[in-house]
Amino acid sequence: MNLVIDVGNSFVKLAIFNDNDLIDKVIVAVEAILDQVDALRLKYKIEKAIISSVGKLNEDVSDCISKSFNVLMLGATTKLPFLNLYKTPNTLGIDRIALVSAAVSQFPNKNTLIIDAGTCVTYDFITADAKYLGGAISPGIRMRYQSLNDLTANLPLLETEMPENIIGNTTNSAIHSGVVNGILREIDGLIGEYRLKYSDLTVILTGGDANFLSKQLKSSIFANSNFLLQGLNYILKFNSN
């Protein structure tokens, strides 16, 4: 079995895979990572592990995990299951690398656009012959609400809410309309632009806001909240062959 560890800035996702099947997943604070790894080690027969860290993982923690398993640290030099044509490959986020790897694994020989709706909204495109071309990065829902509050004198900070009407007739409803309708139109618009060039496009939506957005998008998409974890597992398997 494989252990996948996805380290964010505040939380860590740990997943157990039996071949391609996700059989367990837990989310813990960064400070609790070692205790949770020990608990999973006692519960499952783990052979290999991969660590992906967009946050700052203490080196002592990764060294400690490496004593228990054969660990692959995902980085810019890791062998990947696709041809990376990004002009600045060393700046490409490892979360985006994992998402593209999942697309190669689950949608082989297809032109695929992966949209990750989290803190930022990232768009990553890979061709049917497994060439990664790049994509786009824009502010996520929470960042849009936050920036309206941070960069103005009087606009309030609101929680995410689906607007009832395209026309906001109060400040709060105007903010909800602008933020939510804006991001929905952005996503639908970019999908449309890609489909003008790639009519057979497969679209994957993942990330923390995927469920909220997927119900409102006009475009045909596949929503998968575990796509990044599945990509990390595939990278681990790819490097184990």
Q: Give pLDDT, residue 92.
A: 94
pLDDT confidence bin for 218, thresholds 50/70/90: confident
Q: How many residues does the chain have?
A: 241
105 is known to lie in a ligand binding site = no
5 shares a domain with 94: no
Compute the distance between CA of residue 153 and CA of residue 196 in angstroms, rounded to an integer: 41
> In CATH, what number is assigned to the domain containing residue 54?
3.30.420.40
Instruction: With respect to residue 189, please indicate whether it lies within any of the assigned structural domains.
Output: yes
Claim to verify: residue 101 and residue 170 sit in the same structural domain: yes
In a domain, 79, yes or no: yes
**Kindly report the CA angle at 125 between 9 and 237, in degrees rounded to 5?**
65
Tens digit of each residue's pLDDT (9 = 90 or more) over 56-110: 777 888 888 888 889 999 988 899 999 999 999 999 999 999 999 999 999 999 9
Residues 3 and 108 occupy one common structural domain:
no
Global model pTM greater than 0.85: yes
Domain count, the chain: 2
Last residue of a domain, one of 24, 56, 73: 73
| Active site (catalytic) residues | 95
Q: 123: annotated binding-site residue?
A: no
Residue pLDDT, tens place only, 117-144: 999 999 999 999 999 999 999 999 999 9
Task: Based on the fold, state whether residues 61 and 120 are members of the same structural domain.
Answer: no
9 annotated binding-site participant:
yes
Residue 11 assigned ligand-binding role: yes
Positive or negative: CA dihedral 217, 224, 71, 55: positive
In terms of domains, do 166 and 93 share one?
A: yes
Range(s) of the domain holding residue 95: 75-227
